[in-house]
Every structure is written in structure tokens, then in C-alpha cells.
């Protein structure tokens, strides 16, 4: 997930040779039924979960069983002179076959590590409504956010986002990635592989809650998303229309519940 690289550190007027841990980033090209569906800049871990989660939130698949095969290997387009390698890490290529050979008919999209990217394959006007009777309390939101943010990798590098998926029994998984969208796809993919009932789950995040983060929660029927950071107006608008609960700035004894406050109890 990280390597140590040389650098010159400036500290209190002095410049000295040093080193620092830097998160790894590599391109992953995904082909579905022979068509290029995605090129993402990702952290080199849990790639299968990322692909499954992405295909699910884009409605290329509807359930895990829609995938007949999934293979990940070094990119066939890799330059053999090794110049395309970065510290020994090669570009990767994934090939997915689905039971429906026509499940991907559009040209590929690109997802950057900066959490940007192209438009989704899913029409925003046709997003599903949340179907869940989940209710939780303020203390649970504070507790799971605190658990999410404990990260040795973030302490070492300062260069990753963190997404947690929690259920009635507590932590399901906590995912780290250079992009929060990638991390959420991984968490959803992990949930699919472990038969998680998403309608009983809460997502936590270290970074901003954008419309894309909201869209992925809606596609997976995750009723609550909470973050240490801010949210956006479009995220709130989309979430309100679909019945999602959005919570921002969860820090110490404070939080902002922007929409869906009926799901959050305050015993105090």
C-alpha cells in the first residue's frame, strides 16, 4: 500500500535529506465482455472487491452471481522495457465475463485518484429510493466514526481516504484507498461477497460526501452515510429525494444531520 521514497525535508529553516512513506497508485483497466468499461487509478489491494462493487453500483450486474468469471493480471499493453513500472508495480488489467453478454454497451469511463471521473452509466433521474427501517443513535455514529479513522497507513502517509461499512453487530469492513469512491466500491463489493444486507448498514467516510458517494449508497440501498468532512448541495438534494440520511462533520461531540434525521435517535 505504500513505499518509502527519498525527499528533502524543510524544518524550521533547515533543508536535510530524508525519506517519507508515500501511498501507491496504479492504473487498473477493466474489460467487461470484451468491452472497456473502466480505467481507475487505485491502491493495489482488494481489487476484486473494487471491481465487483463498481459493476454493482453501475448496474452492470444486479447480484454477485451475474459474474461468470473475473481475472486480474498484468496489463497486456504494458511496455516490456519496464519504463511503465513505478517502483516495480505494473499496470493491471481485469477481464470480467457476465451471464448477460450485453450488460455493458457503452465506452469506458475513467476514475481518477482525486475522486473525480466521468459520468456514471446510471441515469441520475432513475435512482432508486432507500428501502430501510434502520434507526440508530448519536452515540453509535460517533463510535463508528472514531473506529473508522484509526489508520496506521494514514498516519504514515497522510495520503489515503477511509470508508467503513458497519452493521447491527458492528464493523463489517474498513477500507483504505487513494480515492474515497474506490474505497466505497470496495466496501460494497466486500459486502456482496459476504451476503451483507445493505439495508441494515451505515457507511462512514473520512472525506467529502459528494453526489457520487450518495449515488453509490442509493444503488446499494445503504440508508445512512456519515463523514468527518463536509457534503455538497447536490449530494443533499439527491439524498433527500431518495430518502437517504446524510451526516457531516462528525467530530467529538458534534455532527450535522443534513437530511434523514428521523433515523438518528438522541437518548440524551
Task: Provide the pLDDT for residue 85.
Answer: 53
**Residues 220, 32: Cα–Cα separation, whole Å:** 20
Phi, psi of 259 (to 5 degrees): -145, 155
Rounded mean pLDDT, 91-104: 87
**Short-list 196, 199, 214, 229, CA closest to 259:** 214
121: pLDDT strictly greater than 80: no
Helix (H, G, I), strand (E, B) or coil at 49: helix
Cell 517519507 belongs to which residue? 20
Rounded mean pLDDT, 10-19: 91
**Residues 227, 206: Cα–Cα separation, whole Å:** 6
Q: DSSP secondary-structure letter at 232?
A: -
CATH architecture for the domain at 26-121:
Roll (3.10)
Higher pLDDT, 258 or 76: 258
pLDDT digits (tens, 9 = 90+) for 24-79: 988 999 999 999 988 999 999 999 999 999 999 999 999 999 999 999 998 665 44
Higher pLDDT, 107 or 26: 26
83: pLDDT strictly greater than 50: no
Task: Provide the pLDDT for residue 103.
Answer: 74
Rounded mean pLDDT, 11-17: 90
E-only strand ranges, 54-133: 67-74, 92-98, 109-111
CATH number of 136-265: 3.40.140.10
Residue 86 in contact with residue 54, Cβ under 8 Å? Answer: no
Q: In the chain, what percentage of residues exceed pLDDT 90?
A: 68
* Residue ranges per structural domain of the chain: 26-121, 136-265
**Short-list 268, 246, 248, 250, CA closest to 259:** 246
Task: Provide the pLDDT for residue 127.
Answer: 87
Q: Would you mind telling me the total number of residues written for the chain in this entry?
A: 268
Q: Is it true that 26-121 and 136-265 share their CATH fold? A: no
pLDDT digits (tens, 9 = 90+) for 160-214: 899 999 999 999 999 999 999 999 999 999 999 999 999 999 999 999 999 999 9
Rounded mean pLDDT, 234-258: 94
87: pLDDT strictly greater than 60: no
Task: Provide the pLDDT for residue 46.
Answer: 95
Amino acid at each position: 500500500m505504500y513505499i518509502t521514497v527519498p525527499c528533502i525535508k524543510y524544518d524550521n529553516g533547515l533543508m536535510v535529506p530524508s525519506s517519507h512513506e508515500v501511498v501507491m497508485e496504479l492504473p487498473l483497466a477493466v474489460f467487461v465482455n470484451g468491452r472497456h468499461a473502466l480505467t481507475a487509478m487505485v491502491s493495489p489491494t482488494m481489487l476484486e472487491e473494487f471491481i465487483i462493487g463498481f459493476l454493482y453500483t453501475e448496474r452492470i450486474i444486479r447480484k454477485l452471481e451475474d459474474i461468470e468469471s473475473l481475472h486480474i493480471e498484468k496489463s497486456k499493453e504494458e511496455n516490456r522495457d519496464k519504463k511503465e513500472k513505478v517502483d516495480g508495480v505494473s499496470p493491471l488489467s481485469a477481464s470480467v465475463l457476465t451471464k448477460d453478454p450485453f450488460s455493458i454497451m457503452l465506452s469506458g469511463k475513467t476514475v481518477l485518484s482525486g475522486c473525480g471521473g466521468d459520468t456514471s452509466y446510471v441515469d441520475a433521474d432513475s435512482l432508486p429510493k432507500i428501502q430501510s427501517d434502520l434507526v440508530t443513535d448519536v452515540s453509535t455514529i460517533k463510535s463508528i466514526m472514531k473506529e473508522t479513522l484509526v489508520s496506521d497507513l494514514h498516519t504514515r502517509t497522510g495520503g489515503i481516504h477511509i470508508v467503513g461499512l458497519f452493521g447491527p453487530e458492528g464493523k463489517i469492513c474498513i477500507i483504505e484507498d487513494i480515492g474515497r469512491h474506490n474505497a466505497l466500491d470496495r466496501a460494497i463489493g466486500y459486502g456482496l461477497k459476504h451476503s451483507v444486507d445493505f439495508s441494515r448498514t451505515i457507511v462512514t467516510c473520512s472525506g467529502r460526501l459528494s453526489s457520487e458517494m450518495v449515488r453509490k449508497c442509493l444503488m446499494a440501498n445503504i440508508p445512512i452515510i456519515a463523514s468527518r468532512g463536509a457534503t455538497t448541495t447536490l449530494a443533499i438534494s439527491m439524498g433527500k429525494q431518495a430518502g437517504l440520511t446524510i451526516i457531516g462533520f462528525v467530530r467529538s461531540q458534534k455532527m450535522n444531520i443534513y437530511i434523514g434525521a428521523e433515523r438518528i435517535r438522541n437518548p440524551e
